[in-house]
Amino acid sequence: MADAPLVEDYHRATAQERHVVEHLEIWDETLRDGEQMPGVHFSPEEKLRIAEALSDAGVGLLNAGIPVVSEEETRAVKLLVDAGLRAKVLAAGRTVPGDVDAIIRSGAKHAAIFVAASDVHLRYKLKMTREAVLDASVRAVRQAKAAGLHVAFVTEDTTRAPFDFVERLYAAVVEEGADRLVIADTVGVMTPLTFRWFLREFARRVHPRDWSVHCHNDFGLAVANTLTALEEGVTSPQVCVNGLGERAGNASLEEVVMGLEVLYGVRTGIATEKLYGLSRLVEEIAGVPLPPNKALVGYNSFSHEAGIHTHGILQHTLTYEPLQPGMVGRERQMILGKHTGKAALVEKLKERKANPSDELLGQLLRRLKRASENHGKEELQRFLEQYRRIYARPGISDEEFWRLVDDLGIRTERS
């Protein structure tokens, strides 16, 4: 037993089935899709703070936003372009000439041009035919390439679009010089197995050289689907810090990166020890609290209370932790409470060089458990009540909205 491996790495058995490329480019969407999370708003200066932290951590490409949205959004993109970041700065726009013009004027050298591809989007949102979408896409890519931009072509809702149309659309933009092709699982309906089939079929039909995926988390599968895509040779995963984004969010930057680094043994170019600081910065600026049980960066992700667990951790950290906390800039915490065992208590007492008898140790443990069980929840419940009030309906309240309406003199039934 002494010579047995501490960890049996079954990942090695499937390594030959993975085709992760050697040089990945992490594409971060925190400043665009992350900001589209209800209630989240970044000023241009806040975008710059986040962009500097992302670039410093080693992220290769940042989506700064959609310049055509507003003057402030244009200013934000220009601010990032002029900041001299190591990361490349990208701006996004629809397949509309004015959107592409706004990208060009922003100074960004990388563009993401997007259009919907599924029938439900074309019929109910765009009210366009497939031919009209194809024509607009070709014109937009041509316009961007003529301006010397690196162009990523994105289809919204790719995974619910007819494959024959997907193939025609991407083939047409490639002919116009599109540099990178992006597949979006916009409402998160893919499972890893289904997505693997889709990606293989896409590769067979379209033959992408440089491609990316944008996965949403509606069914909690964004990270799993993104890792599946990387196994199939996708070159640029799109992620958001803390998994921010529309509805249930996007694939989490920290989870995708650490999945690659630790589970696959793939170097991502990310300084992983900076991930927690980055996570806290985005939490603070976005105003969206991290769930305590959020993988890797949640407050409890390296905390231990149960006696069996703390005893194991004190013997060897690999018993109940898959990686060292310092890898992501964290520290381990031993929590004292109802589930605490003697081993954790002995370890805690060492802080003041206390070495009580077994009898006193037993008494202390019983008192600790009683104190924990009697610990009131009033403060926590007040926090939860406030949290629900704020996040159940973020953004402008009804009262504020109708006040704006009244201030403009718009006639309503109540007025």
Q: Across-strand partners of 322?
A: none
Q: Which two tokens stand for residue 298?
A: 């949640």
User: What is the average pLDDT across 268-288?
Assistant: 97
207-242 confidence digits (pLDDT tens)? 999 999 999 999 999 999 999 999 999 999 999 999
- Which pLDDT belongs to residue 15? 85
* pLDDT of residue 1 exceeding 50: no
Q: How far is CA 394 from CA 100, 205, 371, 381, 384, in A?
A: 31, 43, 37, 20, 15
Phi and psi (nearest 5°) for 320?
-135, 20
- Which pLDDT belongs to residue 345? 87
Q: Which amino acid is at 144?
A: A
* pLDDT of residue 247 exceeding 70: yes
Binned at pLDDT 50, 70 and 90, residue 82 comes out as very high
Binned at pLDDT 50, 70 and 90, residue 375 comes out as confident
H or E element, residue 361 = helix 358-373
Percent of the chain with pLDDT over 70: 98
User: How far, in Å, CA of 192 to CA of 223, rounded?
Assistant: 10
User: How far, in Å, CA of 312 to CA of 43, rounded?
Assistant: 46
Closest among 60, 24, 18, 29 to 228, alpha carbons compared: 18
User: How far, in Å, CA of 268 to CA of 258, rounded?
Assistant: 9
How many CB atoms sit inside 10 A of residue 88's CB? Answer: 17
134-148 confidence digits (pLDDT tens)? 999 999 999 999 999
11-37 confidence digits (pLDDT tens)? 878 888 899 999 999 999 999 999 999
Backbone conformation region of residue 85, classed left if phi is above 0, alpha if psi is from -120 to 50, else beta: beta
- The third-level CATH classification (topology) of the domain covering 11-286 is TIM Barrel (3.20.20)
* pLDDT of residue 6 exceeding 70: no
Q: Where in the chain is the domain with CATH 3.20.20.70?
A: 11-286
User: What is the average pLDDT across 45-57?
Assistant: 98
* pLDDT of residue 404 exceeding 60: yes
287-337 confidence digits (pLDDT tens)? 999 999 999 999 999 998 887 888 888 888 888 899 999 999 999 988 888
* pLDDT of residue 3 exceeding 60: no
- Which pLDDT belongs to residue 309? 84
Q: Where are the alpha helices (DSSP H) in 34-158?
A: 44-57, 71-81, 97-106, 119-121, 130-146
* pLDDT of residue 7 exceeding 80: no
* pLDDT of residue 2 exceeding 50: no
378-399 confidence digits (pLDDT tens)? 988 998 898 888 887 788 888 8
Q: Which two tokens stand for residue 203?
A: 């590769």
